[in-house]
Copies of this chain bind each other. A is one copy, B any other.
Amino acid sequence: MAAARTLRIGLIPGDGIGKEVIPAGRQILEALPTSLKLKFEFVDLKAGFETFEQTGTALPDKTVEVLRNECDGALFGAVSSPSTAVKGYSSPIVALRKRLDLYANVRPVKSVMTAMNPIDMVIVRENTEDLYVKEEKTYDGPEGKIAEAIKRISQKASFRIATMAGEIALRRQKIREAGAPSIHKSPLVTITHKSNVLSQTDGLFRSTAREALAATAFSSVGVEEQIVDSMVYKLFRQPETYDVIVAPNLYGDILSDGAAALVGSLGLVPSANVGEGFAIGEPCHGSAPDIQGKNIANPIATLRSVALMLEFLNEEAAAAKIYAAVDANLEEGKLLSPDLGGTATTTQVVEDILRRL
């Protein structure tokens, strides 16, 4: 009998409802059936605006080091952004993605019973560059201040993110061929850009993505393009046509919130920040200060992020268990959190899902 694999998972609740949903993520890992032969160890780690207020940094070096040296994966809750610029504060999740080279932000958006039209897409967002390099400067012009930011697109990052998109498209197709019901018949990657205005930067993203997806390995994958503005339009008019969408960082950020709106709530949408052999699961929602401490946050985005993290750690059977339990809860529709029109508490939703594992 094979020995159990032990995975060491960093837990970074962050701010606001992050503190309510990350414990649910831990709970579901602990509740996985022993037949899966998986063990978990947890390390509590700090990051976020509260951490910034306490320690002067939103992302302590210790958090990065422990993740890098001791962990197999992690779960990240959410961070509060200060309502006006605060000197020295900078988003810890953006920094974490770069420092651990988690180059892909993978965001599957799928409807169960919550959307009018069936939707089943994955947004594969480049996670390390574009305007997120945060190289900015401000100077005095003849008529007031002028600020500039660099948007940087590299061939390397564009190539690897498009390759990841192709691989995800193939993996999804394999799961479909194994009999999973799906609205898609064949794999399709849609490249999003704005090369009609940004011919060099987005032009490089576009041509490199095309090149990556022209590899023999992807010969069964359809490839098309959408300009980002028209992509947002089509996302809302014909969301069912999209399978895998690959985009530079900022467009990916915007598109994934748009896609979340289509399935009814940001509280349903998971993400994983993925690098070589490491993944951080992260719900797409924010810290939601308005509902913090009320035990009504939807834990599903986090539970699905746990599953997504497990997929990228090659634990697909465990991931499938979690997805199925979440889908069963949504399909029954009896214990739903308020964002989905229900009255269940976070605790009740988590209990219902654990019961279905």
Contact = CB atoms under 8 A, between A and B. Distances in A.
Interface of A: 81, 85, 90-91, 94, 131-132, 134, 136-138, 141, 143-156, 159, 194-201, 203-204, 227-230, 232-237, 250, 253-254, 256-258, 260-262, 266, 286
Given A233-B260, A236-B258, A201 B154 contact: no
A197 B94 contact: yes
A137 B266 CA distance: 37
B204 A233 contact: no
B156 A147 contact: no
B200 A136 contact: yes
Contact of A233 (B81, B151, B153, B257): B257
Count this chain's copies in the assembly: 2
Given A148-B150, A148-B152, A230-B286, 7 more contacts: A132-B197, A144-B155, A147-B154, A150-B151, A229-B257, A230-B257, A237-B261
Contacts of A147: 152-154, 200-201, 203-204
Nearest to A256: B229
A258 B232 contact: yes
Nearest to A87: B199
A-B pairs with lowest CB-CB distance, top 9: A144-B155, A236-B261, A136-B200, A81-B196, A229-B257, A233-B257, A147-B200, A147-B201, A149-B151
